[in-house]
Structure 1
Amino acid sequence: MSDPSPAILLVDDDVDSCRNVSDILADLGYRVDVAHDGRSALDLARGRAYDVAVLDFKMPGMDGVTLYRHLRARQPGTVALLVTAYASEDTARAARSAGTWRVLRKPVDIPNLLGLIDQAVGQPLVLVVDDDRDLCENLWDLLRARNIRVGLAHDPQEATRRLAESRYHAVLIDMILPGGDGGTVFRAVRSVDPQARTVLITGCRPESDPMITQALAEGADAVCYKPLDPANLLDVLDRLVGPSPAGPR
């Protein structure tokens, strides 16, 4: 498992501003990477998973909303804060559509920014392992609305990579997966992080029931059946990882 200190990505073409915020965050114990344009930020994201990304909206080459769309595709568990001197309803609407968590006006209120980063880092991190990409996107929206960070994987191999990148509070595991099965993923979770809670998901009961019985005997925490009941799933997660902090709106 990588260094457990939260990792923050700062992206702004204002070099002095980045240096100032980076120094403060480093003093507070965060691992901080800095980029001054979108392409450099994406290069950094190839080598490290970030808990929070603080993105300037207006930058040469790629704006912050477009950058977050690319980051989210690679690292869906990263919480994005967008900072802008060009705040408008259109900017806010585009940011919400991309999935950013908050939009802050420049000049940034540093204590407020630090508080939001602390809140974002404190949100539970859940990994969803399912080859149904539409379901994954729906779960991302559902859980982000509850201030739960969401990682996504679509097969056992990708799940293994995600587990190596970050420490998850809970893992939702579809039992029927391409290139393997949910039982394999469950045992990988138990091996990498025995403290992570596990929720088994299935829509194919005759095929998956033996795997579910075995996983429950080995310590899986819960089972949810497809089609998923959102309220029931949220109740299960609240029970397993606790309700997430609401934070400011």
Structure 2
Amino acid sequence: MQQVKRVLVVDDEEGMRMTLAANLELEGYEVVEARDGVHALELAEQQAFTLVLSDVRMPGLNGVETFRELKRIQPELTVVLMTAFALEQLIEEAITEGVYTVIYKPFSMDHLARVVARAVDAPAVLVVDDIPKVADSIVAVLRAAGLSAHAVHDGRTAVQHVLERRVDVCVLDLVMPDQDGVATCAQMRGLKQRVTVIAMTGHSVPEMVGAIMSQGGYTCLRKPFDARELIHTIARARGDAAPG
């Protein structure tokens, strides 16, 4: 019997909260509502949640403060934040501390459903680079930021990893021996799982960049890149959650 996925919706605006809850229930989730951050923490002390969907700007505890406390209570909890405001500093803090993504109001319920569907599966980031030291160092940075991440060192192993585990984002090196990033991305696109590919390269390979983008790649980062740039790119990719 499939386990029901329980979502906690946190928003001080009752109308918005009820609309979100009703739409998520139609998607098959069990939904619990919290009127503010303090209420959300009380509920998290009493029951486990698969996902929390929280507004950022709320009286008392804001969404980022609530996120921090929720992770203390339930460390494995996935949290998605919503905001209608350009709260750059708060959003920066949330992303670098491991929030799954931030979605910006107004958004369509179809878009929300796509983001939630991917987030409730507790997915991870897969880093693929044929230089183990590079792959492992990227994974260490992502884990330090609160993200679940794993490393492999060749394209074939990467495809097998996606088949066997929950992966929603792949950070994929383009230039690798045996099987390059373009071929690896093509194989991933043929799988049932929906994986967003963020390419990376330290070489001048415009043809490969063009090829992977034509396959639906999200973007290509130039090595060496700042760790914060990668963390923010992952959060944006998860928030975009394009259909396909």
Instruction: Report the TM-score when normalising by structure 1.
Output: 0.53
C-alpha distance 36-239 of structure 1, shift in aligned 2 (>3 A): closer
**Using the alignment, how far apart are the partners of 1:58 and 1:239 within structure 2?**
36
Q: Do the aligned residues in 2 keep the contact of 1:8 with 1:50 (CA within 8 Å)?
A: yes
CA drift of 1:109 comes to 2.6
**Using the alignment, how far apart are the partners of 1:79 and 1:243 within structure 2?**
14
Q: How many residues align?
A: 153
CA drift of 1:139 comes to 8.4
1:30-75 superposed Cα distances (whole Å, 9 cap, x missing partner): 0111001111101110121111111111111100000000001111
Q: How does 1:77-96 map to 2 (within 5 A)?
A: 77-96=76-95
- Residue 67 of structure 2 aligns to a residue whose secondary structure is helix
CA drift of 1:119 comes to 0.3
CA drift of 1:242 comes to 2.2
Q: Name the aligned partner's letter for residue 35 of structure 1.
A: A
CA drift of 1:89 comes to 2.8
Partner of 1:121: 120
> Does 2:64 match 1:35?
no
**Using the alignment, how far apart are the partners of 1:81 and 1:38 within structure 2?**
14
CA drift of 1:113 comes to 1.2
**Using the alignment, how far apart are the partners of 1:47 and 1:115 within structure 2?**
28
CA drift of 1:239 comes to 8.0
Q: Do the aligned residues in 2 keep the contact of 1:68 with 1:98 (CA within 8 Å)?
A: no
- Residue 92 of structure 1 aligns to a residue whose secondary structure is helix
Gaps of 5+ in 2: 125-139, 170-195, 197-236, 239-244
Q: Name the aligned partner's letter for residue 116 of structure 1.
A: V
Report % sequence identity. Answer: 29
C-alpha distance 66-143 of structure 1, shift in aligned 2 (>3 A): closer
Partner of 2:182: none
Q: How does 1:63-212 map to 2 (within 5 A)?
A: 63-124=62-123, 140-141=143-144, 144-146=147-149
C-alpha distance 244-141 of structure 1, shift in aligned 2 (>3 A): farther
Partner of 1:245: 168
Q: Name the aligned partner's letter for residue 109 of structure 1.
A: S
**Using the alignment, how far apart are the partners of 2:44 and 2:23 within structure 1?**
21
C-alpha distance 72-244 of structure 1, shift in aligned 2 (>3 A): same
1:125-158 superposed Cα distances (whole Å, 9 cap, x missing partner): 8xxxxxxxxxxx9885478253x8xxxxxxxxxx
Q: Name the aligned partner's letter for residue 245 of structure 1.
A: D
Gaps of 5+ in 1: 126-136, 149-229
Moved more, 103-112 or 64-73: 103-112
C-alpha distance 66-142 of structure 1, shift in aligned 2 (>3 A): closer
C-alpha distance 241-141 of structure 1, shift in aligned 2 (>3 A): farther
Q: Name the aligned partner's letter for residue 38 of structure 1.
A: G
CA drift of 1:94 comes to 1.4
**Using the alignment, how far apart are the partners of 2:142 and 2:88 within structure 1?**
26
**What CA RMSD, in Å, does the superposition of the two structures yield over aligned residues?**
3.0
